[in-house]
Structure 1
Amino acid sequence: MSSLCPFAKGAAGEGGCPMKLGGRNVQHSRHEDKVEGDSKDGREDKVEGDTKDSTTISPKCPFGYDSHTFKLGPLSCMLCRALLYESSKCVPCSHKFCKACISRFKDCPLCGADIEQIEADNDLQVTVDRFIDGHCRIKRSHVNADSREVVNEKKNVIYGDVSMERGAFLVQQAMRAFHGKNLESASSRLSICAEDIREQLQTQGDAPELSSQLGAVLGMLGDCCRAMGNTVSAVKYYEESADILSQLPTTDLELVHTLSVSLNKIGDLRYYDGDLQSARSYYNRALEVRRDAVKEKANVSSQIIDLAVSLAKVADVDRNLGNEDVAINGFHEAIEQLESLTLNPSDAALEQRRLSVLEFLHKQLAVERSPDADSSIQSS
């Protein structure tokens, strides 16, 4: 995988790209997983000021969010660690959390007091929404290199630095909420991000980087819908993500991974619905994308493992469709790919994944001798 997430350019300053988890970039989470800013360097952002001239000020957000300190304080939920969504307070202790987060508790997780009831805190939610629509809507002005005049803007202030652009910030908050199981919050933040990117595409026209970002965000929205049990919406988002990404040059490995993941996830949902022909179609599309990627960059170990996973998925469907010989050939090809792969000692995570997929493949070849063999494989 590429070390560059499609939103990395929007994440400058301390903390870096919020898509990096465990030393890797994530785009729909590695279950297959996808999502950040729209700036070129993240260094000059503007808001309307009180004078006609552009003025550079210290990198301080009026809400306390800047590149040196990331402390949302009372605007964040201590349970999901994301911006409050449907802010609610416990009665009688008055400690505040997201509604979805605190609804899982009978005692306040902060002080331990019995929760007699949960009340909406509309005033606090208004402040949180103002934060999103205010600070997070800071956008860089178009500045003439010579005159430093801002085009079509009479009043503005240039921030000397901010740590993240709007898209990067929203995605970071969505990921925190998703991992905190606050799916409504994650979906809301991602929807705002997707809307922003669509608006930029309308004004800027064909912009591959923006399209890549939109594809990633839509994939994450699909993950949210899938986790909430809304498979119809999940498929819709995955399909739109795949349609957008399939029109972009597939030279970037991160894009290839995101595209193939979206296709595989649609295949998974079709598979679980019993539509094996449709599942095979999507799995095979993902397989072809990964074959082409390996042809371009055969020395990327993660691509080889991804290819083997796709081979296994197609073969598994072939077996269920009654095409046993075709399935066996697919399993054997996947094993050959993995056994020919030599990893560096430092690639412990990849080696663990390689061995896990190999174990699955060998079980599939032994399925006639052991009908109870595990026939599941992690979506990739």
Structure 2
Amino acid sequence: MSSLCPFAKGASAGGVCPMRSDTNNNKHQEEHDDKGDEKSNHSDTVSPKCPYGFDSHTFKLGPLSCMICQSLLYQSSKCMPCSHKFCKFCISRFNDCPLCGADIEKIEPDTDLQVMVDRFIDGHARIKRSQVNSDATEVRDAPQTVIYGDVSMERGAFLVQQAMRAFRGNNIESAKSRLSICAEDIREQLQTSSNTSELCSQLGAVLGLLGDCCRALRDANSAAAHYEESVEFLSKLPAKDLELVHTLSVSLNKIGDLKYYDGDLQSARSYYAQSLDVRRNAVKENSNLSSQVIDLAVSLAKVADVDRNLGNEDVAISGFKEAISCLESLKLDSTEAALEQRRGSVLEFLNKQLAEKDSHVVGAAV
């Protein structure tokens, strides 16, 4: 699952990503809440409120979260006889309660707790905004109706954060559920909002994450459908945003991977080639960014690998050599250790591919 957050830009003026550490999240949340309090003084806004009466300064997710996957409870269940509560999937992997160590005799659903969690998700982390009547005289005399607004920014970031935590905890169904709600929210906004570019970018990224969930669940058809829809939305947008370009190229490559392992090499090559085109254009616009050059080399390697499997050996060798040339000409400094490690692993793969060609030639000569 990609670590890129589709809501990083909307999270705050500074573009803080909700996927970062909890310390940074808490700091950002406090700054956001302070801004929310300032806005609540205006006649057209109402400060966000948790449906249980807690604000973000005082309410902790502890009572509603699973200590195993560190995310909001999904299919809340309690192990008996100790009655400690976890996600159904998470606790099903244990014979002893991970909280108290007691033997688990059976696992029972906790419907009441799950209803509370669902209500929390439905009402928390949204911006509430009063509905302004077009007739100013009526607004002055009539009570204002509070409605929900800007769901994709606040609730979306919250849901993606919980999905990422669940995914890392191997609770894939939980992650899929949160992302599905997020995608539905964005689709609703797309019908009424004029900011379609930002929403399409967010929906494309969320659909890509949903594809990752389906792929982890070994549902290749659903994964491909989500990736293809992600590509559909992201392809509508101008290819200037590097995060957008990265997400688009990754989705194309992932469709190619699914086709590759399904044995459909021609289709796999088509998707890999589309990703390669996206990354070539990105390098033209941002030739000074090392990550873009490495991405380009990866795409060249994928296309070349399929060419070899299709019997186009000369074309494959040309692609491998171009990828090696890109990486060898790349200059990295001491602050780019992670990129250096990635470059090294890709170079190792590429050199092995050329060595395989040389060994085939030697074998034929003997």
TM-score over 0.5 for the pair: yes
1:282 counterpart SS class: helix
- Residue correspondence of structure 1 range 60-75 to structure 2 within 5 A: 61=50, 63=52, 66-68=55-57, 71-75=60-64
Distance 1:359 1:215, change over 3 A: same
Alignment partner of 1:277 out of 266, 272, 293: 266
Whole-Å separation in 2 of the counterparts to 1:319 and 1:43: 57
Q: Which residue of 2 aligns with 1:239?
A: 228
Partner of 2:255: 266
Query: What residue identity is the alignment partner of 1:216?
Result: A
Which residue among 52, 70, 79 is the counterpart of 2:68? 79
Conserved 8 A contact 2:45-2:129: no
Partner of residue 154 from structure 1, selected from 116, 127, 144: 144
- Given residue 135 of structure 1, which amino acid in structure 2 is its aligned partner? H
Counterparts of 1:18 and 1:328 in 2: how far apart (Å)? 43
Q: Does residue 132 of structure 1 match 2:132?
A: no
Q: For the structure 1 residues 266 and 94, does the alpha-carbon distance in structure 2 shift closer, same or farther, using more than 3 Å as the test?
A: same
Match of 1:305 in 2: 294
Output the CA distance in 2 between the equivalents of 1:345 and 1:336: 21
Q: How does 1:89-238 map to 2 (within 5 A)?
A: 89-141=78-130, 154-156=144-146, 165-205=154-194, 207-238=196-227
- Structure 1, unaligned stretches of length 5 or more? 23-39, 372-380
RMSD between aligned residues: 3.3
Cα drift, residue 16 of structure 1: 3.9
Amino acid at match of 1:299: N
> Partners of 2:198 and 2:278 in 1: how far apart?
19
May I ask how many residue pairs the two structures share in their alignment? 338
Q: CA deviation at 1:176?
A: 0.5
**Quick one: distance in 2 between partners of 1:297 and 1:13?**
24
The amino acid of 2:305's aligned partner reads: D
In the alignment, the residues of structure 2 paired with residue 153 and residue 17 of structure 1 have an alpha-carbon distance, to the nearest angstrom, of 37
* CA-CA distance at 1:158 after TM superposition: 11
CA contact (8 A) 2:51 2:120 kept: no
Distance 1:86 1:172, change over 3 A: same
Which has the larger Rg? 2
In the TM superposition, what is the alpha-carbon distance from 1:137 to its structure 2 partner? 4.3
| 2:49/2:124 contact within 8 Å kept | no
Q: 1:158 and 1:369, CA in 2 relative to 1: closer, same or farther beyond 3 A?
A: closer
Is the Cα–Cα contact under 8 Å of residues 42 and 165 in structure 1 kept in the other structure? no
State the SS of the aligned residue for 1:203. Answer: coil
Deviation of 1:324 (Å): 0.5
CA contact (8 A) 1:264 1:282 kept: yes
Q: What amino acid does structure 2 have at the position aligned with 1:154?
A: Q
Q: Give, in whole Å, the separation in 1 of the partners of 2:344 and 2:21.
A: 22
Q: Alpha carbons of 1:192 and 1:107: their partners in 2 closer, same or farther (altered >3 Å)?
A: same
Q: CA deviation at 1:285?
A: 0.2
C-alpha distance in structure 2 between counterparts of 1:268 and 1:296, whole Å:
27
Counterparts of 1:318 and 1:54, CA distance in 2: 60
State which of 314, 317, 324 in structure 2 corresponds to 1:325: 314
Report the AA paired with residue 114 of structure 2: Q
Instruction: Say which structure is richer in helix.
Output: 2
**Residue 29 of structure 2 corresponds to which residue in structure 1?**
none
